[in-house]
Structure 1
């Protein structure tokens, strides 16, 4: 350990370790000998956007009679969101915190633009709803518990290791994807899904750097009053089966995706802790988003929840935190994620025990399945999809 301390001293040029952990392993702590009460308040604004090309499978005749599917542009898509985030974390014991957060979505706008008519066949899509969607309102409340199992500030022989469980409650009113919104008549933003996120993160301060690693898993559970496509049979292939045996609201409604995420990176301290301090943060991010039925990039056009296939998100984030004094700091981040290509209309045909690609009987037909766009040869896909996110946050530490 004496050799490790000597190396750290050389790297820091005599600069002492910062008392706080990396942002990703920060935990409010109370009842400490030198600090009886710990509290963090974060208030900030977040801007996010997603841009995609939406393409459609079509069949092109060939001399041998085959019809290999090709992808043709159907729409270009953009979603733009601005929200205010307020988060509070209070120490309820040593190295244990309770957190609460509530977002206010100021706007969530979607736009679809059509390509030249000869480039895509979307004649079977009803565009009378318009190619705009507008939403806003209070988002889902967030609650969490965090525990710093190890804390490097207290024992420099160990890294800081934090375990968390976060719960997103379906407090926001449910939105209706079939509702034709206007800029002056916006819909709400709630999906009525409970989301439980289990995560663990490690960080270790070595000189001016503090590398970290985090893994998280989000488990969705459909909540009360969640929307079902059977609430409005727009675009359904077998609406007569709604509510019949095997096609309950739970079966025909939202099936939010599971998400597994891995984040790794490092913070870099610039300046002495005794003065104003700047910390830089660079990380890489990867998420696996499972298949599910939810509001995706085409739902606003078709007016229903749609079945998406699984996809990966790959990207990174850069951030900077300026510590004004021991009570106030400012943080800004910029993140980019690339989403791998995935189907937007991949509803199953129904119960198909003999695997012939058809429902076994009329009652076995999936009410959500629409042969026009869920069947191979007519499906829609999101390609070249990318997310951008910018945040600016002020932090109060007590």
Structure 2
């Protein structure tokens, strides 16, 4: 059986998929301080994780009730998000091997800026940079950039296609041999090995070249999380890691088969696009202890905080509906895959909107793996054996303890079964992930 890959999902703020994260009695609340990120980075590197990556968004959400009050009062997913790039720079200084991924939007950034940022991170981390590409989803973000509304769903991806093409050309504008650095002759670089890109397209005009020599990996590893049809087509062309949230194994397997077939149809090797679904492990020394941990965690979530985040993800105001009635059909412009999953679960279980908010706030539909370290490992192994994924993005229930428990107890189980590495085989993230 193939070895799996492990990523860690993070937000540089008060919560992640878990909206109980900052309230948890075992969790730290110093998410504005550098020490917790240093501790997390060192812990995950000790566990031989391939990478950690930070999700990001560019606004405090005001979708629920057309106000930010609920999200700020209860601490939703957008209440606080520090810029992940400086956080990763800090982690880079205290680690040597683990990959470092940051989210940046193609909707509100410029290609030259993004190419320069990730080339810098790749140099300073000696080849460990990854870019989680997002197209941005809600009107709260648009309002922070002088716009009254957001680009349409497919139009965002059209812009992103050109954006990545420009970035790739900028990263390639310096050849590997361009930097000479001959002190005796005073020859700094070979101008013939550095080229302008002279791009003129529908969205961008960029002359180039980049003002940074080629980085250790050449370009960052590309992460993407598109779940709609258009999003999956984009990922099939560009993504080397696909992050996904699927609420059950059947949907995960369907997603895995579909994405791999799309990658092959795009003319790429499916092994060069890894599917890593989010899971939230809650382990204990006994199964009963783990169940108690899950109960404690889930009871800390207020239904409205889940609905505030769901409104942000969907770019839709769920406050328009009664909390104590089932949710009917709705049309949204946000993250279509997550909204579709919410509607399916709501219909199949006849849930009220209040119940939906509670479930969404507990994990944003991320499956919770509950049991002893052996039982958690059993569940992970079964998903890989069943052809559902190439590994996992571990999402914490509280910090830093969730990662410490996973590294101390689940990782040794995975290693003992030959499912996970004992040591890093290389120095760059591409080497960890076996990417070209």
Same fold per TM (> 0.5)? no
TM superposition score normalised by structure 1: 0.28
Structure with bigger strand share is 1
TM superposition score normalised by structure 2: 0.26
Structure showing greater radius of gyration is 1
Structure with bigger helix share is 2
